[in-house]
Amino acid sequence: MASALKELDDLLRGNSTRPELLARGTAHMRLGPYLALCLALGAIYGLSMGLYAVFGRVPAEYAQLLASALKVPALFLLTLVVVFPSLYTFTALLDVRLDLPSALRLVVAAVTVTLAVLASFAPVTAFFTLSAASYPFMKVLNVFLFAVAGLIGLGFLARALGRWEAAQAPPAREEAAERNQTALHWSADVGRLRRTASRSGLFMVWMLLYAFVGAQMAWLLRPLIGDPAQPFAVFCERGGNAFADFFNALGKLLGVQ
C-alpha cells in the first residue's frame, strides 16, 4: 500500500515523468500499481456517489454503494479500452517516438491522475449528499466534478507526451549543427511549427473523442447515483444518451422544465 501511494505521489508531483527518466523509457512506470490505484481511487469516489441512495431515499438503498464503487473505476478503464487504439494510431501518424507499451503506461498514468483528483472530490460529493436533497443538482454536480478531473488528467497526459518527445529528441549538439545550416534553418522551423500544430489539433480531436466515449460509457453503466423515484437496478434499460439527460437535469435544476 505504501509503495502504491509513493507511486501516486510521484505521478502527482511529476517525478515519474521527468525528462531524464523518460529518456531511458517508461519501465519505471509500473502498470500493476497504477491499475490497483485506479480501482481503489475510483471506488472511493463511487462510494461518495452511492451515499445519495442511502441518505436521499426511503428506505435507504445500500446496494447502490457497492454498485457505484465498482462502476466508477470500470467507467474509466472501459473508456480507456475503447479510446486507446485511436490515441496510439494518432501518435504513430504524427511520428511521435512512442512504442505501444510506453503509450499504454502513459495513458494509464493519466487515468490514475484523473481518478486521484476525482477521489479528492469525494468529501465534496459526500457533503452535498448530506446537505442537498435535489437529485438533478447531484447529477449536475457530479458531471462537473468528472469534467474537472478529466481535464486535469488530459493535461497531465499532454505534458507527459511533450516531455517524452523532448526526452527522445536528438542531442543538443546535433540540433545545433542542423541549425548552422542556414539554408535549411527556415524550412526546419516551419516544419516544426506545422508538426506542433498538427499534433495539437489531433490531440484536441482525441480529447473530444475521449469525452464523448466517457460520457456515453457512464450512461451505459448508469445508475451511478440512484434516482430516488426509481427502484434500485444494477443497470438501466438502454435508450437516450448522456448529453440529453444532463441538459434535462440542468433544466430541472434551473426551473426551466
Q: What is the pLDDT of residues 122-173, one digit of tens each?
A: 999 999 998 888 899 999 999 999 999 999 999 999 889 888 888 876 554 4
DSSP state of 98: -
Q: Which residues contact 187 (CB under 8 A, 6 or more apart)?
A: none
pTM for this predicted structure: 0.86
Residues 19, 192: Cα–Cα separation, whole Å: 20
Nearest of 87, 74, 37, 86 to residue 217 by alpha carbon: 74
Closest Cα partner for 224 from 70, 78, 87? 70
Query: In Å, how far from its chain's centre is CA 74?
Result: 12
Domain boundaries, the chain: 2-166+203-254
pLDDT tens digit sequence for 195-210: 554 567 778 888 899 9
